[in-house]
Amino acid sequence: MKFQDTQSMEERLELMSELSKVFLSRAAKIDEEGAFPFQNISELKTTGYTSLTLPKRYGGEEISLFDLVRFQEYMARGDGATALSIGWHMGIIQDLGEKNSWNEYIFQMLCEDVKNGALINNCASEPQTGSPTRGGKPTTTAVKQDSYWLINGRKTFTTLSPVLDYFNVTASIPESDEVAYFLIPRSSHGVEIEETWDSIAMKGTGSHDLVLNNVRVKEEYLVEYMELGKKGASGWLLHIPACYLGIAQAAASYAIEFAKSYSPNSIQGTISDLPNVQQKIGEMELELMRARHFLYSVAKQWDHSAKDERAQMNPELGAVKLSVTNSAITIVDLAMRIVGARSLSEKNPLQRYYRDVRAGLHNPPMDDMTILQLARNVINRCDD
């Protein structure tokens, strides 16, 4: 079945749940081997998932942000690495369709390819810039030569790199001192993936280095200029907290199942009857409830807001990301305390969730920047 075969959200969520269960059955092996989830990505393509955010004007479904984050959360319950990876692609297409900021001809070409399964990701991080959200200037360069751009540099953390068809790369233009995004097809001469991804978290994201050696793209492949350190409000980035919420839900479900079945001979019944365990289950539930309400209410707010209202939503969007990813870390911690020392076994999924949720701290926006933004916002408001 394909997602496009039904308009019913319940049926679509059911399909995602089925996929998620299959992804869960593969997750331990992918993590253990540090492999890339090729089969998961292939199934997301064949079920039509990877084209769900395409705009209606190009024959897509143009699903809402609310629906996107729900799908992403469900997927992450099975495999966080797969969800985070495909979340970039889904979100970027949604964002481009909403912003309409690219040359229409190039965007249409991209959309046609996405319909046929093509995948894209933004490649902005570099060893010298650290997180691009802090305003560091790319050392990757683009030099104009006649009607082409000649691009050289190295990008780190290129999630989905084993299967990307398009790399949307930030580069500095030395002659004008500007910075822009350049769309680089994988087939371009001089594109190389160096398999550097050795993280202990989100091992299945294939976030290797992208090396660009004299890559030539046509001039119209400069798709968008950017202002360093200046970020528009990006609702699509809520795919990140959705992912970590999904992992946290998986951890909580596992711990509760364990508590309902574990019966040491020091007690009658199972440990789920004990007040100390119930306390932790209640705390997990509270964190989950708070995280879910915050994430989904802001996603809905985004969907129902006009363009100028969305532009003011950065504080809420950052707050959701900070709050949900930190809750996810707390929930996994509580789940591990419930399960006890068994949670540290290599065979136990909780140790994978424990490593994976940590990655959320290093996805954008970073916590310190969000807190500062909230502070400045409220100070400015008080000045009015």
Ligand X SMILES: Cc1cc2nc3c(=O)[nH]c(=O)nc-3n(C[C@H](O)[C@H](O)[C@H](O)COP(=O)(O)OP(=O)(O)OC[C@H]3O[C@@H](n4cnc5c(N)ncnc54)[C@H](O)[C@@H]3O)c2cc1C
Residues at the contact surface with ligand X, assessed by CB under 6 A: 88, 121-125, 130-132, 134, 157-159, 202, 205, 207, 359, 362-364, 366, 368
Instruction: Compute the least distance from the CB of residue 221 to ligand X, in Å.
Output: 18
Instruction: Compute the least distance from the CB of residue 118 to ligand X, in Å.
Output: 16
d(CA 20, CA 73) in angstroms, rounded, equals 10
d(CA 53, CA 132) in angstroms, rounded, equals 25
Nearer to ligand X, 259 or 328 (CB): 328
The DSSP line for 314-338 is HHHHHHHHHHHHHHHHHHHHHHHHH
Sign of torsion over alpha carbons 59, 63, 69, 75: negative
Instruction: Compute the least distance from the CB of residue 167 to ligand X, in Å.
Output: 10
Residue type, 59: G
88 touches 122 (CB < 8 A): yes
Nearer to ligand X, 155 or 292 (CB): 155
Instruction: Compute the least distance from the CB of residue 356 to ligand X, in Å.
Output: 9
Instruction: Compute the least distance from the CB of residue 129 to ligand X, in Å.
Output: 7
Nearer to ligand X, 140 or 363 (CB): 363
Nearer to ligand X, 186 or 260 (CB): 186
Nearer to ligand X, 61 or 367 (CB): 367
CA atoms within 13 A on the CB side of 6: 13
Nearer to ligand X, 242 or 338 (CB): 242
Look-up: residue for tokens 């968008």? 224
Residue of this chain nearest to ligand X (CB atom):
130
Query: How far from the centroid of its chain's Cα atoms is residue 183's Cα?
Result: 20
Residue 312 in tokens: 């003011």
Sign of torsion over alpha carbons 263, 264, 267, 268: positive
CA atoms within 13 A on the CB side of 325: 28
Instruction: Compute the least distance from the CB of residue 295 to ligand X, in Å.
Output: 19
Look-up: residue for tokens 């900021």? 101
Instruction: Compute the least distance from the CB of residue 158 to ligand X, in Å.
Output: 6
Nearer to ligand X, 72 or 158 (CB): 158
d(CA 277, CA 145) in angstroms, rounded, equals 66
